[in-house]
Amino acid sequence: MLRFDNSLLVLRAGTLWQEATAAAFLDAIGDGTLPPEAFNRWLVQDYHFADALSSFQGIAAAKTPRQLRKPLIAGLGALDAELDWFEAQASARGLQLNDPVHEVCRRYRDFLIQAAYREPYPVLLAILFGVEASYLVAWSRLSPNGPYTEFIDRWSNPRFADYVESLRVLAEGNLHEASQGYFDGVLAHETDFWRMTWEG
């Protein structure tokens, strides 16, 4: 199981890391008991989140020096393709992606966009690593089988893991005094987001 035991940011986050990468929603996907309405809620809200993340990542790439920028640009292209994939998944399920953004999701989106405009690029690298690493580890806890195999594989495959490791190297090679606080902020929002998808 992926844990990022080699990450200073993860180690310093303490229990926040465990709380952000394990959730009742994920447990229910793993054992096949997830209610369809919870999955649909997650899909719509995660689409809204990914849309904001693409804006965040575009600003982060623009702020980051050219010699460090390639992983961010590649990730931004992959994220754009992922938004297309979300739209196809929603259409197949008859879901409306113009449904209101849940307040928990809105707070997370605001956190990203405000940081993108206010903070220097090292902080933004720590934020992006936090977002992607917590997602990778959360989904990697699950075995890719059952009705959600495609979703589990999408965020636990070796290619995604390599991308997240490249973000770790960038983030921890360019630490800022505010990096840990924002990394921890990501984990708190991730915990709230998983709870929202489960509880509504």
Q: What is the pLDDT along the chain (200 residues), one digit of tens a residue?
A: 567 888 999 999 999 999 999 999 999 999 989 999 999 999 999 999 999 999 999 999 999 999 999 999 999 999 999 999 999 999 999 999 988 999 999 999 999 999 999 999 999 999 999 999 999 999 999 988 788 999 999 999 999 999 999 999 999 999 999 999 999 999 999 999 999 999 98
Residue 22 Ramachandran class (φ > 0 left, ψ -120 to 50 alpha, else beta): beta
* CA angle centred on 192, ends 154 and 164, rounded to 5°: 35
The 10s digit of each residue's pLDDT in 60-109 is 999 999 999 999 999 999 999 999 999 999 999 999 998 899 999 999 99
Q: For helices 121-140 and 179-199, what crossing angle results, to 10°?
A: 40
pTM of the model: 0.96
**Cα atoms found within 13 Å of the Cα of residue 33, Cβ hemisphere only:** 6
CA 173 to chain centre: 21
**Cα(50)–Cα(198) distance, integer angstroms:** 18
pLDDT at 44: 97
Judged on CB neighbours under 10 Å (0-12, 13-18, 19+), 17 is buried
Which single residue is written with the structure tokens 């229990």? 15
Cβ within 8 Å of residue 118, ≥6 positions away: none
